[in-house]
């Protein structure tokens, strides 16, 4: 898990992915892949082959906040970078790129009546505007301050969405042996703000098939919304989310691959979020797209939770998909 921890600890909100990009480029080059970076900043690692062109994508960015204004009293107003749950932000810690840590707060009476982002601010303990601006300026971004912990088979951390996907792709790149397929491993930018990096990367590659590797919600906590995915149940094969109806051929192929190789899998239908599969599917004249997801509790929080054994099942399924004879 050292590699996963290293990826997670590289803070990289959407649009500021340089820290994680540098690590991924270094790891991919060590493995002997042809590595390029496109104009938006996505990393594309290529393993040439004579078979079908297969794109596997995981996004590098994480959700965060952006400083929009520093008030005279030193408190910082902010906007969202990605999908934040406003109700869950009160008293959360965030960390800026220079290491400055602040607390998201609100006037509690106002906030209790209505979870209004305009009533919130970041407190970095500055005495006034001048002191605050020495540490944080308008346009600076911050991410959740949530450390990495492993307890047996369980991982708890910020940014498993989608550093877990990046980790799994790198493991696939390392373990993959013989395949005829023409493989493109894409580590995309700006997924959390509109699936942007995957769209331009897919246009550059124009693959025959694509698999988005991301996290998904679970339906295994008390009183939660029912969902046919649970922690420890294996890889989740995506059927649909709010951004995509996965290609039937891809879904059936992934299920068949899992059964043939004894890989534990679950069926994923996620109705409250989207993934890069949606952008890739609509690229050019269309790309036959699907998804392999890691079951994750408490997504978009500093305490996302996933299973190591589920990661291992996802990696097995991805390797088998890379070796599969796509028709």
Q: Where do the domains of the chain lie, and which CATH numbers do they carry?
A: 2-62+158-323 (3.40.630.10), 64-144 (2.40.30.40)
Q: DSSP class of residue 62?
A: B
- Residue 241 token pair: 């989310």
Q: Under a CB-based contact definition with an 8 Å cutoff, are residues 313 and 265 in contact? A: yes
Q: What is the pLDDT along the chain (327 residues), one digit of tens a residue?
A: 899 999 999 999 999 999 999 999 999 999 999 999 999 999 999 999 999 999 999 999 999 999 999 999 999 999 999 998 888 888 899 999 999 999 999 877 666 666 677 789 999 999 999 999 999 999 999 999 989 999 999 999 999 999 999 999 999 999 999 899 999 999 999 999 999 999 999 999 999 999 999 999 999 999 888 899 999 999 999 999 999 999 999 999 999 999 999 999 999 999 888 999 999 999 999 999 999 999 999 999 999 999 999 999 999 999 999 999 998
Q: Under a CB-based contact definition with an 8 Å cutoff, are residues 35 and 42 in contact? A: no
Which of 46, 11, 32, 6 minimizes the C-alpha distance to 187?
46
Q: What global pTM score does this model have? A: 0.94
Rounded CA separation 232/37 (Å): 35
Contacts of 15 (CB under 8 A, 6+ apart): 61, 81, 141, 189, 190, 193
pLDDT digits (tens, 9 = 90+) for 116-149: 777 899 999 999 999 999 999 999 999 999 899 9
Q: DSSP class of residue 198?
A: H
- Residue 111 token pair: 């906030």
Phi-psi region of 206 (alpha: psi -120 to 50; beta: other; left: phi over 0): left
Q: Under a CB-based contact definition with an 8 Å cutoff, are residues 195 and 278 in contact? A: yes
191: annotated active-site residue: yes
Catalytic choice (17, 27, 191, 268): 191
- 268 burial type by CB count under 10 A (0-12 exposed, 13-18 middle, 19+ buried): buried
């Amino acid at each position: 898990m050292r590699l996963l921890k290293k990826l997670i600890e590289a803070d990289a909100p959407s649009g500021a992915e340089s820290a994680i990009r540098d690590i991924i480029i270094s790891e991919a080059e060590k493995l002997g892949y042809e590595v390029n970076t496109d104009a938006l900043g996505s990393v594309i690692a290529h393993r040439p082959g004579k078979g079908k062109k297969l794109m596997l994508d995981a996004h590098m960015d994480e959700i965060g906040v952006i400083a929009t204004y520093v008030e005279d009293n030193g408190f910082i107003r902010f906007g969202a970078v990605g999908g934040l749950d406003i109700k869950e932000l009160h008293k959360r810690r965030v960390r800026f790129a220079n290491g400055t840590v602040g607390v998201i707060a609100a006037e509690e009476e106002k906030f209790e009546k209505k979870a209004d982002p305009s009533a919130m601010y970041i407190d970095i303990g500055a005495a006034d505007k001048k002191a605050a601006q020495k540490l944080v300026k308008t346009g600076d971004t911050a991410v959740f301050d949530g450390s990495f912990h492993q307890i047996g088979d369980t991982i708890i951390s910020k940014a498993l969405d989608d550093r877990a996907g990046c980790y799994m792709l790198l493991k696939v790149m390392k373990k993959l042996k013989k395949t005829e397929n023409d493989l493109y491993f894409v580590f995309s930018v700006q997924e959390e703000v509109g699936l942007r990096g995957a769209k331009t990367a897919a246009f550059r590659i124009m693959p025959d098939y694509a698999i988005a590797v991301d996290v998904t919600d679970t339906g295994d906590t008390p009183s939660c919304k029912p969902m046919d995915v649970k922690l420890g149940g294996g890889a989740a094969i995506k059927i649909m989310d709010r951004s995509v109806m996965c290609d039937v051929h891809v879904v059936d192929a992934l299920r068949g691959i899992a059964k043939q190789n004894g890989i534990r899998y679950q069926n994923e239908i996620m109705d409250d979020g989207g993934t890069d599969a949606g952008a890739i599917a609509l690229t050019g004249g269309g790309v036959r797209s699907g998804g392999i997801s890691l079951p994750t509790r408490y997504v978009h929080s500093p305490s996302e939770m996933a299973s190591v054994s589920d990661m291992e099942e996802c990696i097995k399924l991805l390797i088998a998909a890379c070796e599969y004879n796509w028709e």
